[in-house]
Amino acid sequence: MCDNYQVPGTPCMDSLHEECGVIGVYDFAGNNVASDIYYGLFALQHRGQESCGIAVSDTKGPKRKVDSYKDMGLVNEVFNPENLGKLQGDIGVGHVRYSTAGASVRENAQPLVLNYVKGTLGLAHNGNLINAAELRQELERTGAIFQTTIDSEVIAYHIARERLSSKTVEEAVVRAVRKIKGAYSLVVMSPRKLIGARDPFGFKPLVIGKRENTYILVSESCALETIGAEYIRDVHPGEVVTISPEGGIQSDTTLCMSKEKTARCIFEYIYFARLDSHIDGVSVYNSRIKAGKFLALDSPADADLVVGVPESGNAAALGYAMESGIPYGVAFMKNGYVGRTFIKPKQSSRADGVRVKLNAIKEAVNGKRIIIIDDSIVRGTTSGRIVTMLKEAGAAQVHMRISSPPFLWPCYFGTDIPKREHLIAYNHSMEEIREKLGADSLAYLKVERLEELVDGLSICKGCFTGKYPMEPPKEDIRGECFDQ
């Protein structure tokens, strides 16, 4: 979906800004958890390549002590045996972050670590609050100071204030999240407890895992397999779970709504999450296969080969091939080494940014009528380049199929869709888009198919329909964002 074509380690300026991954680990047997968090963050790296961090604490040690380390960069750039070895504790939280450039500074890396009335808190947050600016102003009007521009700080403030009149930290968390609106999957570490919270709509995923005496809260189930843990269940939309040796897993469901009101971000299934993860019982792999199948059913094309834009289009392409009977193939070689610090070609250079990352395989393409599947189109620039490369490689026809409906509306809950005027689907007809891309045909997944992708789960499809599960803010919240 990203016009700059997203490659490992390259925060795409035209893509998803508050996408993040969170993890919390608590080993009741008292062993160090930093290593588990490290490998867990690896498994979540696709959710954020800008910065990462780990904070750990010793539940048997002094109440005011947290060791943390965070910095800009990938997990394997930020952590080394030395700094990882200094993180000693049996409870901890971790975070990987992706954001827009404006706030891409070390100060905004997570987890947020702080002292408050009852000791320390560590917070890692995935999602986007729609009333964050409002809440900030409210807090500021009572004298609060903010040292970052991330929502976690707003949430932390509310927990700290609610803690004053709450019996337990989990009660404070429940009362705090009652005040925040929007998307959040939250992992909180207090001196003795690990707490997870998921917003009532369930926009963002959060699952519970276990390995012997160790409990894990993490954005995606794939991370559980990486660290050898067993999947227990998803945190329910609206649920706050508290993990402690005394209580095991305790659940507060006062914020939970009826199933029909929940609204998972459908883009987790279409693009964000890893193929080997499950969210709320639905396999991401299956969703993408289905998306491809629906495209084959609804928008067939007479062709010789089905290919995906690697990697995100491959699973849907497989589904399309299954349904249509047209052979699946590979059309592009992707260069996986183009990382975060890659020097982009200047205008003057004859090297082409897209071609450095992606190159068509002539033998696979030449003379063929190709169906190519991508997960989305935003501005259309990369898609156009891809069609051109296929044609230059000798493709007789190029039929583009998109495994999501057209983007027409902003997202207020964490997906960084550009302003409407930049969305190609907003100000062009389908036929105009096709012509701009140079494709022989073009089709998107039908909006009606979305629920089917996820076995009837209740989802948010606001970016396609403009109908949001909750009242969106009046103005585009992205403009108000402090740009510290």
Q: By CB under 8 A, what part of segment 218-247 binds a second copy?
A: 222, 225-229
Please say which residue, 322 or 447, places its beta carbon nearer to a second copy: 322
Give the tokens for residue 63.
């109440």
- The CB-of-190 to a second copy minimum distance in angstroms stands at 13
Using rule CB under 8 A, residue 272 touches a second copy: no
Q: Are 123 and 111 in contact (CB under 8 A)?
A: yes
Number of residues that bind a second copy (CB under 8 A): 102
Give the Cα separation of 353 and 386 in Å (integer): 12
3-state secondary structure of 372: strand
Which residue lies nearer to a second copy by CB, 88 or 251? 88
Site for a second copy in 333-352 (CB under 8 A): 333, 335-343, 345-346, 349-352
Distance CA 125, CA 219 (A): 10
Residues 371-390, interacting with a second copy (CB under 8 A): none
What does the CA dihedral 214, 219, 220, 225 come to, rounded to 10 degrees?
Answer: -20
C-beta closer to a second copy: residue 161 or 391: 161
**75 vs 229: CA distance, rounded Å:** 20
Of the residues 2, 20, 265, 463, only one is catalytic, namely 20
Q: Is 79 or 464 the residue whose CB approaches a second copy more closely?
A: 79
- In which element (H, E) is residue 76 found? helix 75-78
Among the residue ranges 13-21, 36-44, 376-384, 427-435, the one whose residues contact a second copy (CB under 8 A):
36-44
Interface pick for a second copy out of 28, 88, 116, 438 (rule CB under 8 A): 116
Q: How near is the Cβ of 443 to a second copy at its closest, in Å?
A: 23
x/- map, 75-114, a second copy, by CB under 8 A = xxx-xxx--x----------------------x----xxx
For tokens 């550009």, what's the residue?
418
332: tokens are 């592009």
Which H or E element spans position 24?
strand 20-27
Examine residue 211 and tell whether it contacts a second copy (CB under 8 A). Answer: yes
Rounded to a whole number of angstroms, the minimum distance from the CB of residue 188 to a second copy is 13
* Least distance (Å) between residue 216 CB and a second copy: 11
Q: How far is the CB of 179 from a second copy (least distance, A)?
A: 13
Q: Closest Cα partner for 105 from 61, 62, 60, 150?
A: 150
**Residue reference for tokens 């995923």:** 205
Determine if residue 281 is left, alpha or beta; phi over 0 gives left, psi from -120 to 50 gives alpha, anything else beta.
Answer: left
The reply to whether 460 belongs to the active site is: no
How many whole angstroms separate alpha carbon 454 and alpha carbon 280?
Answer: 9
- Residue 166-205 contact track with a second copy, rule CB under 8 A, x = bound: ----------------------------------------
Choose the binding region for a second copy from 353-361, 378-386, 394-402, 468-476 (rule: CB under 8 A).
353-361
Structure tokens at 444: 């998107």
Q: Which two structure tokens, joined as six digits, stand for 30?
A: 């008292």
Catalytic residues: 20
